[in-house]
Amino acid sequence: MKKPIILVSVLLAMVGIVAALYIWNKPKRTAEAEKPAEIVTATQLYSSYTTDEVAANTRFLNKTIQVSGNVESISSDGKGALVINFATESEDGGIVSATFPEPKDLKPESGSPIIIKGICAGYIPGEMLGGEVQLSQCALAQ
């Protein structure tokens, strides 16, 4: 009678440990692995943020979104990862920036159209320079 109880508790403990380890080591989110919750153009995304930042955050923040637009420039972030900056046709010269997880040998020409997926990190208003909507963990959309 006692044996099955011990067996069950050992099994439960093992399941618990495996689950805890899984949660602790769960992989980082990347846009590549997720379906986009929204599909927009860079111009639409930027103007949503300049019109109503709170509403735009409710719609986009922390979600994977697919963004299309024309490349304005290519740069890199503080650790050298690839950043593609989209033009936005806005008056303040603002941009939508798409940061990839690492440096990438990808050099789209300025002015060329491109479609990416990224996790929306929000908006930095441009008081002294143009504003910026940031997308992180980006990937090229297939």
Partner 1 sequence: MKSTIIISLAALLFSLNGNAQKYFTRSGYLGFFSKTSMEDIKADNNKATFVIDAATGQIEISALQTAFEFEKALMQEHYNENYVESEKYPKATFKGKLENIGAIQFTKDGVYQTKAVGELSIHGVTRTISIPATITVKGGVITAEAKFTVSCKEHNIEIPSAVKDNINDKIDVTAKATLQELKK
Per DSSP, the three-state class of 71 is: strand
Least spacing, CB of residue 43 vs partner 1, in Å: 19
Distances (CA, A) of 64 to 30, 87, 118: 8, 20, 5
Pairwise CA distance, residues 47 & 107, whole Å: 26
Question: What residues are paired with 8 via a beta bridge?
Answer: none
- By the rule CB under 8 A, 140 interacts with partner 1: no
- By the rule CB under 8 A, 57 interacts with partner 1: yes
Least spacing, CB of residue 104 vs partner 1, in Å: 15
Are the beta carbons of 54 and 61 closer than 8 angstroms? no
Interface segment toward partner 1; rule CB under 8 A; list 2-10, 39-47, 107-115, 127-135: 127-135
- By the rule CB under 8 A, 142 interacts with partner 1: no
In the bound state with partner 1, the residue whose beta carbon lies nearer, of 10 and 129, is 129
Taking alpha carbons only, the member of 90, 89, 39, 88 closest to residue 67 is 39
Contact residues for partner 1, defined by CB under 8 A? 23-29, 57, 61-62, 75-79, 81, 83, 97, 99, 119, 121-124, 127-129, 132, 134, 136
